């Protein structure tokens, strides 16, 4: 090998080494990916569980069938099928001609009891107050006052109270036991 050839080879090898050194220094280092945390965040787990549950709930609600119309009314009694129109008109005419109008029955009177009589002597003349129990209440009433909104006190004596029915029923007399 000739000395010129040796010098060319050494110079070429030096240039190649310099180029490789420069190329390796110019590269940016690649950051390593952060390691996953050892234990997942408990709040993140709760949020993920909540999202899963809401998704299941939404899917279940979409899968539900729409409500049907009720087949019967639970607030009406079962009756006979309606008669034809001609039969109804004939029956209505017979009913109007042969029967008097029905009046609704009177409401039952509430259970009232005379619990006591109190007297006060304010102003000279004694005033009697009746203590009446009924409808889960106690009523302290004088002549002219209302009891349960249905009766008006007409008279208060030493052992009795007379009540007039405002709904047209018979008068009521309560006696002290």
Residue 105, pLDDT above cutoff 80? no
By mean pLDDT, which of 26-30, 46-50, 149-153 is the weakest? Answer: 26-30
Q: With 70 as the cut, is the pLDDT of residue 6 above it?
A: yes
Q: How confident is the model at residue 28 (pLDDT cuts 50, 70, 90)?
A: low
Q: Looking at residue 68, what is its pLDDT?
A: 63
- Give the tokens for residue 35: 């390691």
Q: How confident is the model at residue 158 (pLDDT cuts 50, 70, 90)?
A: confident
Cα 93 to Cα 45, 49, 83, 126: the distances in Å are 78, 72, 14, 62
Give the C-alpha separation, 87 to 71, whole Å.
Answer: 27
Does 131 score more than 70 pLDDT?
Answer: yes
pLDDT in tens, 33-50: 776 666 778 888 888 999
Domains, in order of start, for the chain: 112-175 (2.30.30)
Spatial distance between the Cα atoms of 161 and 118, rounded to a whole number of angstroms: 12
**Average pLDDT of the residues of the chain:** 79
Is the model's pLDDT at 159 over the cut of 90?
no
**Angle 60-56-48 (CA atoms, 0-180°, nearest 5)?**
165
Which distant-in-sequence residues (6+ apart) come within 8 Å of 159 by Cβ? Answer: 117, 175, 176
Cα distances (Å, whole numbers) of residue 169 to 39, 58, 98, 108, 149: 84, 62, 28, 10, 14
Most confident region among 2-16, 29-43, 62-76, 124-138 by mean pLDDT: 2-16
% the chain with pLDDT above 70: 69
In angstroms, the CA 167 to CA 103 distance is: 13
Three-state secondary structure along the chain?
Answer: CCHHHHHHHHHHHHHHHHHHHHHHHHCCCCCCCCCCCCCCCHHHHHHHHHHHHHHHHHHHHHHCCCCCCCCCCCCCCCCCCCCCHHHHHHHHHHHHHHCCCCCCCCCCCCCEEEEEEEEECCCCCCEEEEEEEECCEEEEECCCCEECCCEEEEEECCCEEEEEECCCCCCEEEECC
Residue identified by tokens 């005379």 is 114
Mean pLDDT in residue range 153-158: 90
pLDDT of 29 reads 64
53-92 pLDDT, tens digit each: 999 988 888 877 656 666 777 777 766 555 556 666 666 6
In this prediction, residue 152 carries a pLDDT of 94
């Amino acid at each position: 090998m000739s000395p010129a050839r040796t010098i060319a080879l050494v110079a070429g090898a030096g240039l190649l080494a310099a180029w490789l050194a420069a190329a390796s220094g110019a590269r940016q280092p690649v950051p390593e990916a952060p390691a996953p945390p050892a234990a997942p965040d408990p709040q993140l787990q709760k949020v993920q569980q909540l999202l899963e549950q809401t998704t299941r709930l939404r899917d279940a609600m979409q899968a539900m069938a729409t409500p049907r119309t009720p087949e019967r009314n639970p607030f009406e009694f079962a009756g006979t099928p309606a008669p034809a129109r001609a039969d109804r008109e004939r029956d209505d005419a017979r009913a109007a001609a042969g029967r008097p109008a029905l009046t609704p029955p009177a409401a039952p009177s509430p259970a009232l009891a005379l619990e006591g009589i109190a007297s006060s002597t304010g102003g000279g003349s004694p005033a009697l107050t009746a203590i009446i129990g009924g409808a889960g209440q106690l009523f302290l009433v004088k002549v002219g006052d209302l009891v349960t909104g249905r009766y008006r006190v007409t008279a208060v004596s030493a052992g009795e109270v007379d009540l007039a029915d405002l709904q047209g029923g018979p008068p009521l007399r309560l006696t002290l036991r």
